[in-house]
Structure 1
């Protein structure tokens, strides 16, 4: 898998990320398009994994006071359970460490918690609802 990154929402990497996010969050999970995109789109770094030039997995990141926030993590259904998101996280964590960031954190959908636990994250805090889906905050030192 080839991984490309770009900052901001005026790039082809962002457009590819949105194709994946639309397929997974809007079409598959029925999240409103108005909720799926937000005011942070132009302030994030986007990661997209490509299989034979097809965008198949994505995440966005931005530095916060708590470390590197990872959001909008998703993989097209036909490409799940192949380790692609784990490869994406390896790249994200490597970049975070190179930038001097000490911690990566996110709000994981509860149905995806096992993936994050298997990738070294820990659950912290109580359950929260986002877009009608149960989430927990999870952190990982890098």
Structure 2
């Protein structure tokens, strides 16, 4: 296996890879309706791609209002800390943009993953696209 790298993606140029990953994870595996997966936030978000060599295996996005979402890693590449690398890239980008709070809607089964990255649950459980979720928040840590 080659080393995994994470880079900022270009929504238009990298769209085929972004779509392939999100379709495989959310639409096919998790049965999220396509009309819920694709929204108006994509055009304005900063997207990230995790790649093994030149092959894209994971993605995430950061919207201008500080919402991290669409974190997805292809099945055969899970368990390799790729999700963590994507999340760290989004957190670093948010810091560069001066965003003081980051929000996300986490699937309940991924709650501990996000808690390890400093996110706190700020809602009761709710169902979205047939999957239990919670809203989470991470406040920027000030340097001392």
Q: Give me the TM-score of the superposition, normalised by structure 1.
A: 0.89
For 2:54 and 2:88, the matched residues in 1 are separated by 20
- Does the CA-based 8 Å contact 2:69-2:105 persist in structure 1? yes
**What is the aligned residue count?**
137
Q: Report the structure, 1 or 2, having the larger strand content.
A: 1
Unaligned 5+ segments in structure 1 are none
Q: Deviations over 1:41-93 (max 9, x none)?
A: 212111110012111111111122xxx10111111111111111111111111
CA RMSD of aligned residues (A): 1.4
Q: Specify the alignment match of 2:36 in structure 1.
A: 35
- Give secondary structure in 2 for the equivalent of 1:10: coil
Between the aligned partners of 1:40 and 1:84, the Cα distance in structure 2 is 23
Q: 1:15 Cα deviation (Å)? A: 2.4
Kindly report structure 1 stretches of 4+ aligned residues shifted beyond 6 Å.
Answer: none
Match of 1:73 among 71, 74, 81: 71
**SS of the residue aligned with 1:20?**
helix
Deviation at 1:98, TM superposition (A): 1.5
Give the TM-score of the pair, scaled to structure 2: 0.88
Q: 1:41 & 1:35 partners in 2: Cα distance?
A: 12
Which position in structure 2 is the counterpart of 1:24? 25
Please, which runs of 5 or more residues in structure 2 have no aligned partner? none
Partner residue of 1:5 out of 8, 16, 25:
8
CA displacement, residues 7-47 of structure 1 (integer Å, 9 cap, x when unaligned): 5x4222x3211111011011111111122111222121111
